Structure 1
Amino acid sequence: MTTMTTQIVGLPHGRPMTRADLGDMPDDGQRYELLDGLLIVSPAPITRHQRALLRLAVALYNASPEDVEVLTAPFDVVLSEDTVIQPDIVVARKSDLTERDLPGAPLLSVEVLSPSTRSVDELLKKDRLARAGCPHYWIVDPSEPSIRAWELNGRDYQLVAHSTGHEAFSAVTPITVTVKPADLVD
């Protein structure tokens, strides 16, 4: 008789996970993140997602000032000991980065939506980044295609731009860039 268990070997039992526990996760192509001590596991994204991510990252990189770094996932953004996220695109001051991660909020966090991550990106990550003081948060929806941009106003995000299809999306902070959502996926 074989006994099945739902407990994953190596995961803490009876306590929230911490940043230190992430080092025990397998290198299996999944994205492992923590939100308030809960493990979030996401599968590898589809081609349309990756295309949008790469094209936007290249546009941001090409327009970035000398003191700013543009990085793509997987790269840890440590908001607290129990909240470590990997935004699809991170824009941060070079001076704020370590060799391993970004200890604190970036200048800009960008998520490209996937069916499996939509609610986490639109609700949980957005909330945690606002609490951490991330001044800019963008969401790219490759299925529409669209880009929505929020700026931190006090403790909450305020929608400041929403472009769809071939309508130009322009930002001046933290990087001056103009893109068309359709061009990110076509």
Structure 2
Amino acid sequence: MWATNVGNEHGQVLLSVLTEGEGEEIKDAGRHCVQVQECCGRQCVTKYFDAWPFLHVNLDTWHFIPRFPNGCTTDKHQLYGPFMARLSCCMFKIDEDDYARQLRAKREELLLQGVPNPSENDVIQPISPDEVSRHCKRATRGTKETTKHITDLIAPLGGERGLDTSGVPLIDSIKISDIWAKQSQHVACLQDPPGARLYRQVSTVKKGGI
């Protein structure tokens, strides 16, 4: 019924524990590892790892984001996709140096393909989200900035900006307010541990000579 994966600082899964539920059953996992990803509150697993004061306990965004669709009227709404995409952007920022290097590489690729003087839009448009995630590091924005971004995203969608062409609202204002009131308490749990090395180089790729 429940899977708890225990990993180390290199992103390697050391142990995967299958139990009937969260809580008491996973305490034995603490004897075999140095790091675990979970969340705060009464079900927090930190109490089972009190021998390691350096342990970081975090909430995975995979568990955070799926709460918000419950505040939407339907996932078929025209604004549903953009809303969910923007929600992710509210939590993560792309490394500016990595992205600038990717833009230079794409520009050089277009020049090699015979496109003369490609405009900024010509360069940005062909870059897919998959390419960005493959070549650009991401980091969390911090508790204060993340909270502001999500608040600013939700607020206007309760009015005319949240309507589709048929006048159907994207969000249920009462439900989304309740969801955000609860979720906002966990924004701090989403943040990257200070000083943690989140990426390591595994290969080198050249595009357009960059």
**Normalising by the residue count of structure 2, what TM-score does the alignment of the two structures yield?**
0.25
Determine which structure has greater relative contact order: mean sequence separation of CA pairs < 8 Å that are 6+ residues apart, divided by chain length.
Answer: 2
Which structure has the greater CA radius of gyration? 2
Higher strand proportion, which one? 1
Higher helix proportion, which one? 2
